[in-house]
Amino acid sequence: MNEPDFKVLFVCMGNVCRSPTAEAVFFKKLADRDLLHKIKIDSAGTHNFHPGAPPDERSQIHARKRGYDLSNLRARPVVESDFEAFDLLLTMDWDNRALLEERCPARHLQKIRGMAEFLQTTQASVIPDPYDGGDQGFEQVLDLIEEASDGLMKFILQKMQA
């Protein structure tokens, strides 16, 4: 099998809410455009709170209502080889970005960016953590990730054409 043209790792704290949601949303967008063979995606957490656990049930329920399937995803921590393996490591908030930057070899620092940087119309600097909130938080995360995924798709396609 050919090596993908571009590789993205979505990163949040525990890899049970935001980053698996981003992985599932972007997976569907890639599948809809027949790009799964060209772009590899994964998700991980800066903390190893839930190794091997499925995404938070609330994330799964809200995502399923919009046609996204998180059920096959399992939490894992960011590992050292991720910095080399991925072209882009997208963090969901400033805390996780700082943690990732602390661990990242200097030669790969430019690969770390925020998911919210790819929002096209919404003004937000982070994808907020819905874990301790109610249903609205999970819906907001989906709204932001859907929009940022569209901007990310444009970015990656431009990179691949360059």
State the SS3 of 63-81.
HHHCCCCCCCCCCCECCHH
Residue 12 appears among annotated catalytic residues: yes
Secondary structure (3-state) at 44: strand
Residues 6+ apart with CB under 8 A from 10: 18, 19, 20, 22, 23, 26, 41, 42, 43, 44, 90, 92, 115
Helix axes 57-65, 18-32, angle to 10 degrees: 30
Q: Are 128 and 74 in contact (CB under 8 A)?
A: no
Residue 58 appears among annotated catalytic residues: no
Q: Are 71 and 60 in contact (CB under 8 A)?
A: yes
Residue 56 appears among annotated catalytic residues: no
Among 18, 82, 93, 97, the active-site one is: 18
Among 107, 113, 129, 143, the active-site one is: 129
Active site residues: 12, 18, 129
